[in-house]
Structure 1
Amino acid sequence: MRTSRAEEFKEFAAARASHLYRSACLLTSGDVHLAEDLVQETLSRMYVHWGRTRRIDNPAAYAQTVLVRIFLTHRRRRSATERPLAELPEATRADPDDPALRMTLLRALAQLAPKDRAVVVLRYWEDRSIEETASTLQVSPAAVRTRCVRALGRLRTQLGGSIAEFAAH
């Protein structure tokens, strides 16, 4: 890789790393260590293919797609059967304005199946269209719609009235 391409990649990684990390935290339901691993794996794969990114219209969206696919692959691996503790041993970086709401939402996201969580994060956090989400997850738009409806229904059931009491603050 020539120096100019290496510098371009460094700029890209510096600009996108925090966004990828936030998305990874949502996908992993607040597991910051796994989120860091996913971002590192995403950036390493992007680096390997960086010379070919000229053919990619939107490298940032492509990186986001790589992140989601790495997350889903990780969930399928046998080594991914470890389950996180109910309470994280370290402090989390929560929004100082409303940490209780953030933690409630992260716990609710953790209860969703990995593909449902990916759909919710892509559609509502990343604000992607149904078609973009379907392309990223390599499923049909109908499957995305179905997963959205079911995932949001599960979130409503899990959160019940508790979300209203946090939103009022």
Structure 2
Amino acid sequence: MTSIPEPVPRAAASLTGPEAAAVYDRARLAEVARLGLDQPAADAVLSAAVRAAAGALSLPIGLVTIVLDEAQFFLAHTGLDGWMAETHGGPVEWSFCRFAVASLAPFVVEDATVHPLVRESPPVTIDNLRCYAGVPLVTSRGVAVGTLCVAGEEPRQFADADIATLRALADDVVAHLERREPRA
């Protein structure tokens, strides 16, 4: 197995608390590498999953994200435009998904303009993101590598049934990722 170097967090001043420890966790980063998730690649199954998630929750944006130590990138997305669509991701310190990864639990933002953890994030202040619901992609080894999430430009409440739908789709995404040929 390839040795994973100790990450040098350039954004350490931005990330504090449990999400920082989770983002920089070597075992989590090794799991991302083991599954070959550290590079984006087109995938029809993942594209279908993000369309299903966005459609089921009637939101314009759906993503499968992978959270690395300094960046988050999108393995699949629907409904994005502008810089996020072009770059397929962004800095980890702007990521809402890091909170779901850190807690191994859903992270829900009904109105991003007032949420203390994300209200000053560029996706909110520049791109007008207002609502978000993400569930962690937890592998069979118990490691969160990213999220299946949805988002929109209007505040919105999420019901328990919405989160259950995302969890079911996330389980399918993880099963698919683990069936793919792992890297040596």
Q: Which has the larger radius of gyration?
A: 1
Q: TM-score, normalised by structure 1?
A: 0.27
Larger fraction in helix: 1
- Provide the TM-score with structure 2 as the length reference: 0.26
Richer in strand (by share) = 2
